[in-house]
Structure 1
Amino acid sequence: MNQLARLQIDGFRSIKSADIPLRALNVLIGANGAGKSNLIDFFRLLNYALSRGFQNPYLLERGPASAILHFGPKETGVVRAELAFATDAGINYYRFTLADSSGDRLTFTKEEVQLHRRGAERPNPAVSLIQHPSDNSGLCELWAENDPTARFAKGFLQRCRVYQFHDTSLTSHFRDYSPVDQGRYLYADGGNLSAVLLDLRGQASDDYTSIVRTLKAVLPWFEDFVLEEEGRKGVLLRWRMTGRGDYLFGPGQLSDGSLRIMALVTLLLLPTDRLPNVIVLDEPELGLHPAAEEVIAGLIKNVARSRQVILSTQSASFIDHFSADDVIVVENENGCSTFTPHTQEELQRWLERYTLSQIWSKNIIGGRP
């Protein structure tokens, strides 16, 4: 499995300097404000940069530059990053520099890719993706497809997605109609959930059945979805209750937690060819019952066999479903975030007597307020 093996970031929000080794499954734990969300936001930056959306909407909504540069431009003038991808051919590198520019903006001033072939003494020469400062990533340009290393980086990063299903308000996309032609991949906010389920029911019925069966295990009152195209409006997330097949419910009659569970289960049970290379989840346990946490954790571990997963959590009960090998402790000291991985071996003496959550609560591995 190709995967992001290492991530080095300098100057991004609370991350002054961090060199983070990554595994197939990575569980970020730490106190509020430690920097977990900032690492996840870095992946959002990559998503927008590759879709020509870096200046707008990313910087417009999540910036400006003074809010992104570590303690502002007076202390930090640039954001630097290096991503190392482990592949069968060797290590592929993608590097970029974002510099403070006029108007409280950030501009790409350096961007390159490089391949260090397996067994080679030295890496290949780096390939520059931009010739002059640019508002957008050079990976957006068609010519980047001509270089195999650039093509790999672009393809990998385009299939790296941040999912956050927190907005379940009455005006959220969850509770509205979805165009039926937008059901191939699940959106980052889950807003096209009804269209995805409709498409799965027709194109991947076994996977759809698995989703319904899993939802019944955590939502015992749930019987099945009722998904019908309603002309130009699209499809709405309608459903039936167990024992009340005569009554049709709508998305407005689902709790926030139920909607999140439906989105998470659907995402994690998608056919492999519909899954991103890297699935980034921001607090997936939010609002879940402990029994649902166990199911979601099991699905996450299963999907991590074929796809890389990075998630943040503040739930002590949730991390007990994972191994110490999966955990990265995030701490913040004087406004600077650190990321410390742990292993089952180094914590074995403690794990013989305590659960992982107890070790965390006792501050043995850090990450406590």
Structure 2
Amino acid sequence: MNQLSKLHIEGFRSIKNADIPLRALNVLIGANGAGKSNLIDFFRMLSYALTRGFQAPYLVERGPASAILHFGAKVTPLVRAELSFNTPDGTNTYRFSLADSTGDRLTFTREEVQFHREGEPLPTPPIPVIPRPSDESGLSELWSENDPTVLFIKKMVSRCRVYQFHDTSLTSHMRDACPVDRNRNLTSDGGNLPAVLLAMRKDNPENYASIVRTLRLVLPWFDEFILEPQGPAQKQRVLLRWRMAGRTEYEFDPGQISDGSLRLMALVTLLLQPVDKLPSLLLVDEPELGLHPVAEQVLAGLLKSVARETQVIVATQSATFLNYFEPQDVMVVEHENAESNFIRQNPDELASWLKRYSLGDVWNKNLIGGRP
């Protein structure tokens, strides 16, 4: 499996200088404000940059530069990052720098890729992706696909996707009808959930059946989705409607689903979609929010299962959720001396504690850090 093996970040929000080794499954845990969400946002920034959306909407919505640079431009003039992707043939590296510019903005001042073939003593020379400082990433340009290393990096970075299903209010996109043809990939906020389920029911019935079975396991009142397109043929929309177990003569609309249940429907759909639909790196922020402990256990099992197919980073604050993972999959995020540190746990060092306590208990007792 091609995966991001090493990540180095300097000067991005609370991350002053961090080397972050990554595995197939990575569970981040720490106190509020420790820096978990800042790491997630780093990948959100990359997603916008690859679609020429770095200046707007990313910087407009999540900036300005003074809010992104670690303690502002006077303290930190640059954001620097290096991502190393391992493949069977060797290591592909992507580096970039962002500098403060006029108008409290950020500009790409350096962007390059490099390949180190397995067994070779030295990597190939770096390949510049931008000829001069640029407001947008060179990876967003069509001409950048001419080099195989650039093309590989572009594909890998573009398939790093952040999912956050926190907005389950009555006005959230998940509770609204969406276009039927908006079904290629589940969006970051789950706003096209009914369209994705409808397409999966037709094209991937086994995956769809697995979703329904799993939801029945954790939502005993749930029987089946009702996914009926409405409207003119070319402008059909579909709403997330459902039937209740034991009362299948009634049909319910999305306004009658609890917040936790709606969030769980999106999470289960995300994690049980066909393998070819999975991103290369799947990032989920606090998926356990509002879930029953039984649902947490099922969700953890799904995350561990999908990590065999693609790379996963999940951020959590739940000690009970942490219990379902192995120590080596956990990174404690500490905020010390005004900067975030990411500490991979060593199972050998925790062995004696884990004979008496669960991993969540060890964290609660502040034996591995990451507590307020």
| Structure 2 CA distance for aligned equivalents of residues 132 and 21 of structure 1 | 31
SS in 1 for 2:178: coil
User: What does residue range 97-136 of structure 1 map to in structure 2 within 5 Å?
Assistant: 97-136=97-136
What one-letter code is carried by the residue in structure 1 that aligns with 2:87? T
* Residue in structure 2 matched with residue 234 of structure 1 by the alignment: 237
* Residue in structure 2 matched with residue 57 of structure 1 by the alignment: 57
* Residue in structure 1 matched with residue 159 of structure 2 by the alignment: 159
Asked if residue 300 in structure 1 is aligned to residue 298 in structure 2, the reply is: no
CA contact (8 A) 1:360 1:366 kept: yes
* Residue in structure 2 matched with residue 174 of structure 1 by the alignment: 174
Asked if residue 338 in structure 1 is aligned to residue 371 in structure 2, the reply is: no
* Residue in structure 1 matched with residue 262 of structure 2 by the alignment: 259
SS in 1 for 2:79: strand
| Structure 1 CA distance for aligned equivalents of residues 76 and 152 of structure 2 | 31
For residue 333 of structure 1, report the CA deviation from its aligned partner.
1.1
What one-letter code is carried by the residue in structure 2 that aligns with 1:155? K
User: What does residue range 240-319 of structure 1 map to in structure 2 within 5 Å?
Assistant: 240-319=243-322
| Structure 1 CA distance for aligned equivalents of residues 143 and 89 of structure 2 | 22
Asked if residue 360 in structure 1 is aligned to residue 363 in structure 2, the reply is: yes
| Structure 1 CA distance for aligned equivalents of residues 298 and 162 of structure 2 | 20
| Structure 1 CA distance for aligned equivalents of residues 351 and 147 of structure 2 | 46
SS in 1 for 2:83: strand
Task: Using the TM superposition, name which of 244-253 and 229-238 deviates more.
Answer: 229-238
* Residue in structure 1 matched with residue 187 of structure 2 by the alignment: 187
Runs of 4 or more above 2 Å deviation: none
| Structure 2 CA distance for aligned equivalents of residues 275 and 233 of structure 1 | 26
| Structure 2 CA distance for aligned equivalents of residues 261 and 361 of structure 1 | 25
Q: Aligned Cα RMSD in Å?
A: 0.7
SS in 1 for 2:299: helix
| Structure 2 CA distance for aligned equivalents of residues 269 and 327 of structure 1 | 23
For residue 233 of structure 1, report the CA deviation from its aligned partner.
5.0
| Structure 2 CA distance for aligned equivalents of residues 118 and 350 of structure 1 | 39
CA contact (8 A) 1:47 1:157 kept: yes
Per-residue CA deviation, residues 221-255 of structure 1 (Å, 9 max, x unaligned), is: 00000001101350000100011111110000001
Per-residue CA deviation, residues 83-108 of structure 1 (Å, 9 max, x unaligned), is: 00011111110000000000000000
What one-letter code is carried by the residue in structure 2 that aligns with 1:270? Q
* Residue in structure 2 matched with residue 142 of structure 1 by the alignment: 142
* Residue in structure 1 matched with residue 350 of structure 2 by the alignment: 347
| Alignment gaps of 5+ in structure 2 | none
CA contact (8 A) 1:285 1:313 kept: yes
| Structure 2 CA distance for aligned equivalents of residues 51 and 303 of structure 1 | 26
What one-letter code is carried by the residue in structure 2 that aligns with 1:29? I
What one-letter code is carried by the residue in structure 1 that aligns with 2:77? G
| Structure 2 CA distance for aligned equivalents of residues 201 and 209 of structure 1 | 8
| Structure 1 CA distance for aligned equivalents of residues 349 and 179 of structure 2 | 50
Per-residue CA deviation, residues 24-81 of structure 1 (Å, 9 max, x unaligned), is: 0000010111000000000000000001100000000000000000000110000000
| Structure 2 CA distance for aligned equivalents of residues 302 and 343 of structure 1 | 22
SS in 2 for 1:346: helix
How many residues align? The count is 369
CA contact (8 A) 1:26 1:328 kept: yes
| Structure 1 CA distance for aligned equivalents of residues 81 and 4 of structure 2 | 13
CA contact (8 A) 1:40 1:282 kept: yes
For residue 345 of structure 1, report the CA deviation from its aligned partner.
2.0
For residue 150 of structure 1, report the CA deviation from its aligned partner.
0.4
What one-letter code is carried by the residue in structure 1 that aligns with 2:34? A
Per-residue CA deviation, residues 279-322 of structure 1 (Å, 9 max, x unaligned), is: 00000000000000000000000000010000100000000000
Per-residue CA deviation, residues 144-187 of structure 1 (Å, 9 max, x unaligned), is: 11111100000011111000000011111001111111112100
* Residue in structure 2 matched with residue 224 of structure 1 by the alignment: 224
| Structure 1 CA distance for aligned equivalents of residues 116 and 351 of structure 2 | 36
